[in-house]
Structure 1
Amino acid sequence: MTNQIPTTDRRHSLQAGDTRSQRIGFAAVVLSVVMLGLYFYRSWLFTGFDGVFGDTGDARILIAILEHWHRWFAGLDPHWSDPIFFYPERGVLGFTDAYFLYALPYSLARAAGIDPFRSFMVVMLLLSLIGTSTFYILARRCLSASALTALLGAALFGFANMMALKIGHAQSYCVMLLPSAVLLSTAAWSSPRKPLGALLAASSGLLLALMFFTAYLTAWFAATLAMLTFVIYAVIGGRPRMVTLSRRLFVERRPVTIGFVTGFALGLVPFLVLYVPVLLRGTARPFDEVQGFFPQLADIINPGADNIVWGRLLKSLGIAGIEGRQLGEVELGYTPLLFATFLATMLALLGGARRKLGVAGDVGLALALAVMLYWLVQLDWFGYRPWHVIWEYVPGAKGVRTTFRSQIVALFASCVVVVIGLELLRHSGASKTWLVWLVPVLALGLLTEQLNRKSPPRFWRSEQIAWLASLPPAPAACRAFYLSPGSGGTKEWWEIQSDAMIVSAVRGLPTLNGNSSWWPKGWQLNDLGDPSYPAKVAEWMRQNKLGPEVCALDLAAATWHPAAP
């Protein structure tokens, strides 16, 4: 008799052990993903839903515009392009992002009786759910990824360190809709039924166009990165692939191509109606202004000085937290482990691993190369930045000031590449017991390094509600208002202007004040402390033939004054 386990039984025993290990690892990753999501929303979920993403400047401008959309859907504001700010200027929605796709769920929440601040947070939560769930589906269906790696990619996409840093500019979170557009496109391309394929493609094109009508920078970065990826994908396949793609696009899949172009063209109509008049008046970002926001080489792994894992180390190395820089715009780098995984995957795909994956491998390589190229053209090369060529010749580029926000869109592509890399690693270790734990351990490391002490930034709903309640009703004869000189106290000018916009939006009372990316011609009411402010108010009223129907609001004293200056 012998106590040795027969070879077949031993193999079964090892496989059973591997299965148990994989289940334990998967459970640990799932728990970590849940914890990451809770941490991302901690200032809202664990404060009685009181915390609101952003600061009292940009975030409240967004909420005021969403409130305008809600009022327009309800028939209370006369025209969709005319929020009641910078009164009586027309078309002022075109001075900033339109937030149309945000406005749909926001208005439903408002119709259900939820206040403006919580309605905004409902939109943010809905975007998280859409982005993570559609990325998971995309990874499973299009990349044949395991549940673990698909879930990891979805979490890295939805709750990344850079997302937490940039959620204060919530228009960036529009990128959560990008996996939906890609899913619709891939479903259209693979559909055997031409009418269904055309319909799905039209839906994808429409969604992308409405992303332009929601958050311009995010949509522009997405469109240009997609085109760059397509070109690289065609080039690495050589002439045969170029011929094949041309035949499929314009012959075999022509209904799909026509459907996408038609949907995109229709969806772009309101965007053009709104922004072409603004463009024709000469609005553009001068290149000197853009240069102040360019990244440096090391910013690709700059997650900010408050990143829990890497912040202190990178600050000591002079990479993160450098005074004098636009930290909110340059600290959008990848966390180092994520970037290392991305680079390792790109090198593996360049080395021939993509042949094992077929189309997915080539797409992954094209995405990786596009992401790298998009970053490299923003850098200074011996005193010259290639982005100048893009700024000069690519349509829409002169509307881009903060080029490194492209990282938010590149994150989507990078997470796809990371999923491909983890799948390659998982399959390469199928026969090695010690590798069973490698992917879960790597996953936990990738998730942990997304934590940031500082972000997301937030302000308090309860304080805003109490402040608004403290303001008495405007005089009955008042049809529009401006802020009294010096009534903002010690607040920054942009916060005071946002005060006016919130009061205007919630009360439905037009205001001469406001803030946005662009200002109306001749409007100079931004500085309430300027001694000439009353004269500038009087001049604005004279230019626009306003009279006794205009009153003044003293924010500090919470009083209204019926007399115009």
Structure 2
Amino acid sequence: MTQIPHRIDASGRSGFLLPALFLCAGLLLIALPQSRYFSAIPGDLGDPRFNGLILEHLFRWVRGLDESLWSPGFFFPYRGVLAFSDNHFGSGGIYVLLRAIGLSAETSYIGWFTAAFAINYACCYYALRKFGISRLGSSIGAFVFSFAFPVINQGIHAQLGYRFAVPLAALAWMQFLERGELRFLTRSIVWSTVQFFCSIYIGYFLLLLLGAFLVARYANLARHSALPPPHRLVVGMLRHADGRHVLRSAAIILMCGMALALLFYPYVHYSSVYGFARDPGEIGGMLPRLGSYLLADLSILWSGASAHIVDIPMRHEQQMFFGAVACVLAAVGAIKSTNRDARTSAFALLVLVALTLSVRGFSLYPLIEHLPLANAIRAVSRICLVMLFPLALMAGAGVDWLCSSVKGRNFHGSSVAALLVIALLVEYAATNTVATPTQELRDRLTALAAKVPNDLPADAILFVPRQSQQPLYMTELDGMNLAQILDRNTLNGYSGNSPPGFYASDIDPCADARVRLTGYSHFMQMSESQHLALVDRVYVVGSQPGCAH
């Protein structure tokens, strides 16, 4: 690992003041404006509300209000529907804690959303310091990792927000490759496991990043010490490890394996039960294009240029521009810096780009998309959220080189830092984001709840029918939200997958409810009497009682 140069780090005598200032600036100018300073839900009432409902389900399960962890009352009566998407097990504790101290569901969601920025920043800063980057360079690198354009754009997909284990796993992995010590391999496995519990998407991309770092180290472009073949690396590691440490590491790795097995078993099981699989064409349509790395439609500064980039499928998922200042600093770090890990990061980043890039329909990614776990990953373009770490390391190294060079010309490092702060803040803060006032959501739920009579039977199943003037996901989430606050089950459902026969084509609300239950009855091979018993329990919100017949 590259050591921290004393001449550069001497400017950081202020301790944690410098990184704290960068973090506060990012929170005040970038993170908090997305929630209009805790007055609105970041994003629209689609995916953000879905994530909020999953978090609320975790809180209700902890309190004993929801009986089954994996089967919340959505898509009722299908089972295992939590396995249709991310579960937030690794980050939900923050939301549960905020709810436990008395905050509302909306405020707790905003708090959970905002906390991710601070935790990501702190962990990235720590990792960059260990990689030999100065306080100033680490502050700017962590700022890029936590507040760059791709992060802002993916704010509507808050399930991707908690990425703090990525820098920690990468740090331990690189330490293992450098020193060949078992303790570092164990740490990398632990942090990778944590990341999977935070987000399966990011966990998968983290594995690709670790593989890219391995390829980069074997390429030896940064003139590291020669890396032995993998089997010799493992043999040497075990040979030099203390027996007690081997046993402890083996126990920890075994526990990580068991935890991952418990996490993935429901996904594997219910994918088999419901026949879930991603079509290769669907995955191919969401692979990054060359133009994807220049898309920044939300940026006030770059949206004009971004608009000229056309013919990008799923454009809203392909916003992968890292920012001009970050790219310049990263280029300086990769080309000029003496930090070997920065050059390794540059090569690893190129490996990830080459692996996932689609050029005129050709891509290397199909070579791995049929491997376990890979087929479940639809939006490969989201890998940019993990690419930000090697980019942050390169940018931090670039800052260090610039500060060293400028000092040689009798300028002060603080002046350079100020210019960099201004450039980064202006570029990333000049962004248009969408937010929905929390009062709008509450009013919507209040209006729906007013349509539900107080004397419904205890086993009644709610169903909010689709509205012709609204997207289907809005009414599905309305039904899920309403059922949750009324402590009911609902036919409505919205997630990354849907059970077979779930959506009907008939816009008539009563017919829609009947067809959904017919699909479930056929799937479960129920008798006619069992099917009718289910139909009898349905209450279509806004319609006459018994209309589901």
TM-score range, shorter chain: 0.7 to 0.9
> In the alignment, what sits opposite 1:298?
291
Give the distance between the partners of 2:412 and 2:482, measured in 1 at CA: 59
Does 2:239 correspond to 1:251? yes
Letter in 2 for 1:156: V
> In the alignment, what sits opposite 1:481?
461
> In the alignment, what sits opposite 2:489?
510
Residues 30 and 444 (structure 1), Cα distance of their counterparts in 2 relative to 1, 3 Å cut = farther
CA RMSD of aligned residues (A): 3.5
Report the Cα offset of residue 218 of structure 1.
Answer: 1.0
Residues 108 and 435 (structure 1), Cα distance of their counterparts in 2 relative to 1, 3 Å cut = closer
Letter in 1 for 2:264: L
Give the distance between the partners of 2:356 and 2:478, measured in 1 at CA: 36
> In the alignment, what sits opposite 2:264?
272
Give the distance between the partners of 2:33 and 2:262, measured in 1 at CA: 35
Letter in 2 for 1:481: I
Does 2:19 correspond to 1:39? no
Give the distance between the partners of 1:489 and 1:511, measured in 2 at CA: 20
* Equivalent position SS for 1:100: coil
Does 2:360 correspond to 1:405? no
Of 68, 82, 86 in structure 1, the residue corresponding to residue 75 of structure 2 is: 86
> In the alignment, what sits opposite 1:56?
45
1:513–1:525 CA contact under 8 A, matched in 2: no
* Equivalent position SS for 1:41: helix
Give the distance between the partners of 1:90 and 1:541, measured in 2 at CA: 11
Give the distance between the partners of 1:85 and 1:171, measured in 2 at CA: 18
> In the alignment, what sits opposite 1:132?
121
> In the alignment, what sits opposite 1:347?
335
* Equivalent position SS for 1:552: strand
Question: How do 1:218-367 and structure 2 match up within 5 A?
Answer: 218-236=202-220, 240-242=226-228, 245-253=233-241, 255=246, 258=250, 261-281=253-273, 282-304=275-297, 306-315=298-307, 318-319=308-309, 322=310, 325-348=313-336, 353-354=337-338, 357=339, 361=340, 363-367=341-345
Query: Structure 1, residues 425-446: CA drift from partner, whole Å, max 9, x if none?
Result: 3234442214744454234323
Residues 184 and 263 (structure 1), Cα distance of their counterparts in 2 relative to 1, 3 Å cut = farther
Residues 368 and 506 (structure 1), Cα distance of their counterparts in 2 relative to 1, 3 Å cut = farther
Report the Cα offset of residue 187 of structure 1.
Answer: 8.8
Residues 111 and 30 (structure 1), Cα distance of their counterparts in 2 relative to 1, 3 Å cut = closer
Give the distance between the partners of 2:41 and 2:270, measured in 1 at CA: 31
Report the Cα offset of residue 303 of structure 1.
Answer: 2.2
> In the alignment, what sits opposite 2:5?
none
* Equivalent position SS for 1:450: helix
> In the alignment, what sits opposite 1:551?
538
Give the distance between the partners of 1:369 and 1:529, measured in 2 at CA: 56
Does 2:402 correspond to 1:425? yes
Residues 80 and 190 (structure 1), Cα distance of their counterparts in 2 relative to 1, 3 Å cut = farther
TM-score by length of 2: 0.84
1:181–1:205 CA contact under 8 A, matched in 2: yes
**Structure 1 residues 326-335 or 30-39, which shifts more?**
30-39
Give the distance between the partners of 2:506 and 2:189, measured in 1 at CA: 42
Does 2:55 correspond to 1:66? yes
2:88–2:199 CA contact under 8 A, matched in 1: yes
> In the alignment, what sits opposite 1:450?
428
Report the Cα offset of residue 497 of structure 1.
Answer: 0.6
1:33–1:152 CA contact under 8 A, matched in 2: no
Gaps of 5+ in 2: 1-7
* Equivalent position SS for 1:466: helix
2:464–2:478 CA contact under 8 A, matched in 1: no
Residues 525 and 405 (structure 1), Cα distance of their counterparts in 2 relative to 1, 3 Å cut = same
2:208–2:352 CA contact under 8 A, matched in 1: no
Give the distance between the partners of 2:465 and 2:12, measured in 1 at CA: 66
1:208–1:264 CA contact under 8 A, matched in 2: no
Report the Cα offset of residue 417 of structure 1.
Answer: 1.6
* Equivalent position SS for 1:52: strand
* Equivalent position SS for 1:242: coil
> In the alignment, what sits opposite 1:498?
477
Report the Cα offset of residue 174 of structure 1.
Answer: 2.0
Give the distance between the partners of 2:499 and 2:122, measured in 1 at CA: 41
Give the distance between the partners of 1:135 and 1:117, measured in 2 at CA: 28
2:18–2:139 CA contact under 8 A, matched in 1: no
Report the Cα offset of residue 533 of structure 1.
Answer: 2.0
> In the alignment, what sits opposite 1:380?
358
Residues 181 and 117 (structure 1), Cα distance of their counterparts in 2 relative to 1, 3 Å cut = farther
Of 147, 152, 155 in structure 2, the residue corresponding to residue 167 of structure 1 is: 155
Give the distance between the partners of 1:480 and 1:498, measured in 2 at CA: 18
> In the alignment, what sits opposite 1:111?
100
**Structure 1 residues 372-381 or 124-133, which shifts more?**
372-381
Give the distance between the partners of 2:224 and 2:128, measured in 1 at CA: 26
Query: Structure 1, residues 165-195: CA drift from partner, whole Å, max 9, x if none?
Result: 1110011112134234456778999999x9x
Report the Cα offset of residue 85 of structure 1.
Answer: 0.7
Report the Cα offset of residue 227 of structure 1.
Answer: 1.9
Report the Cα offset of residue 415 of structure 1.
Answer: 0.5
Query: Structure 1, residues 464-488: CA drift from partner, whole Å, max 9, x if none?
Result: 22222331455331424242545x3
Give the distance between the partners of 1:412 and 1:92, measured in 2 at CA: 33
* Equivalent position SS for 2:262: helix
Residues 481 and 525 (structure 1), Cα distance of their counterparts in 2 relative to 1, 3 Å cut = farther
TM-score by length of 1: 0.82
Report the Cα offset of residue 234 of structure 1.
Answer: 3.0
Residues 552 and 369 (structure 1), Cα distance of their counterparts in 2 relative to 1, 3 Å cut = same
Does 2:84 correspond to 1:98? no
Query: Structure 1, residues 383-438: CA drift from partner, whole Å, max 9, x if none?
Result: 5211121213x332111211110001111221012112222332344422147444
Letter in 2 for 1:365: R
Give the distance between the partners of 1:264 and 1:19, measured in 2 at CA: 37
1:162–1:332 CA contact under 8 A, matched in 2: yes
Percentage of pairs with the same residue: 21
Letter in 2 for 1:93: L
Gaps of 5+ in 1: 1-17
Give the distance between the partners of 1:428 and 1:251, measured in 2 at CA: 44
Does 2:450 correspond to 1:464? no
